[in-house]
């Protein structure tokens, strides 16, 4: 049985060798980003997300990455996100939140550090945050109905929603010129200072559930999801006024 890494750095040499054999000089960078590169990594729970930067010639041989992607899936490693340096540079104004989240939590595994020098247009960032916050609030309401009040489904909804909202919290802290903490709980607490209108305890409770530290009942989960809706609604109103 494939072993889940206790520390993501355990697999860096092997995964580097796998993709170097495939892409050779066309491989510009391998970067671990997301929870695997932060204080929130939980072996067996957190997926490991890698970014591969290739040159144009490397993209012509993309099918060669199918085999290693399949191999690493059994060790909680998602198929890598693959792009060229040009792709990244031309996408910063369209996806500033995603690239900001990468820059906030990453480890350079191999090659050039293409994230270090990234900068972001604040108005493009604000517009995406506003759009994503409202979209995720609407989705949360719909997904709540889909749970049919079942405990397991509610629990999964809380965990999934927290991940999505934390990414936007990080972007909001950047927009306000605040330091972005390296842990999910730190981000939530920092949000309470930057946006006093929200109740951080709601999201800290969500973090407990996501990390398996809170075994509340279906009725408690139901109330928590409704509280999340209320707090995100208040945050949407606040972002509208930025």
Residue by residue, what is the 3-state secondary structure of 11-72?
Answer: HHHHHHHHHHHHHHHHEEEEEEECHHHCCCCCCCCCCEEEEEEECHHHHCCHHHHHHHHHHH
Looking at the predicted structure, is the pLDDT value of residue 42 above 60?
yes
% residues pLDDT > 90 (the chain): 88
57-79: average pLDDT:
93
pLDDT at 14 over 80: yes
Q: What is the pLDDT of residue 148?
A: 95
Smallest CA-to-CA distance from 23 within 92, 90, 111, 144 is with 111
Q: Which pLDDT belongs to residue 229?
A: 97
Structure confidence at residue 45 (pLDDT) = 83
Structure tokens at 59: 């993209």
How far is the C-alpha of 21 from the C-alpha of 19, rounded, in Å? Answer: 5
Q: Express each pLDDT in 195-219 by its tens digit.
A: 999 999 999 999 999 988 878 899 9
Rounded Cα gap, residues 221 and 206, in angstroms: 9
Domain ranges in the chain?
8-111, 122-240
135-163 pLDDT tens trace: 999 999 999 999 999 999 999 999 999 99
Average pLDDT, the chain: 94
For the chain, percent of residues with pLDDT exceeding 70: 99
Instruction: Give the pLDDT mean for 109-114.
Output: 98
66: closest CA among 109, 19, 28?
19
Helix ranges restricted to H, the chain? 12-23, 56-59, 66-73, 85-91, 96-104, 122-146, 151-175, 184-194, 200-210, 218-240
At residue 1, the pLDDT reads: 47
Q: 106 pairs with which residues across the strands?
A: 33
Residue 110, beta-bridge partner list: 30
Q: Which residue has the tokens 């006093």?
A: 196
* Integer Cα distance of 196 and 27 in angstroms: 45
Domain 122-240 matching CATH 1.20.120.330: the answer reads: yes
Write down the pLDDT at residue 17. 97
In this predicted structure, what is the pLDDT of residue 240? Answer: 85
The CATH class for the domain spanning 8-111 reads alpha beta
212 or 185, greater pLDDT: 185
pLDDT band at 39 (very low <50, low <70, confident <90, very high): confident
Per-residue model confidence (pLDDT) at position 3: 83
**Segment 215-237, tens digit of pLDDT:** 889 999 999 999 999 999 999 99
């Amino acid at each position: 049985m494939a072993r889940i890494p206790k520390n993501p750095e355990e697999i860096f040499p092997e995964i580097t060798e796998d993709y170097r054999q495939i892409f050779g000089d066309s491989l510009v960078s391998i970067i671990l980003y997301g929870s695997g590169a932060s204080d929130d990594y939980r072996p067996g729970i957190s997926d490991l997300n890698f970014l591969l930067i290739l040159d144009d010639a490397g993209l012509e041989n993309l099918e060669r990455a199918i085999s290693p992607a399949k191999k690493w899936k059994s060790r909680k490693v998602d198929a890598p996100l693959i792009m060229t340096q040009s792709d990244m540079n031309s996408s910063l104004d369209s996806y500033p939140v995603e690239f900001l989240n990468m820059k906030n939590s990453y480890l350079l595994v191999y090659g050039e550090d293409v994230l270090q020098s990234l900068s972001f247009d604040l108005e493009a960032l604000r517009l995406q945050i506003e759009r994503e916050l409202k979209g995720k609030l609407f989705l949360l309401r719909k997904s709540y109905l889909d749970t049919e009040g079942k405990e397991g489904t509610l629990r999964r909804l809380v965990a999934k929603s927290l991940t999505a909202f934390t990414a936007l919290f990080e972007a909001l802290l950047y927009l306000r010129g605040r330091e972005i903490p390296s842990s999910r709980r730190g981000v939530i607490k920092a949000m309470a200072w930057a946006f006093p209108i929200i109740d951080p305890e709601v999201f800290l409770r969500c973090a407990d559930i996501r990390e398996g530290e809170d075994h509340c009942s279906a009725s408690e989960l139901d109330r928590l999801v409704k509280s999340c809706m209320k707090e995100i609604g208040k945050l949407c109103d606040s972002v509208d006024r930025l």
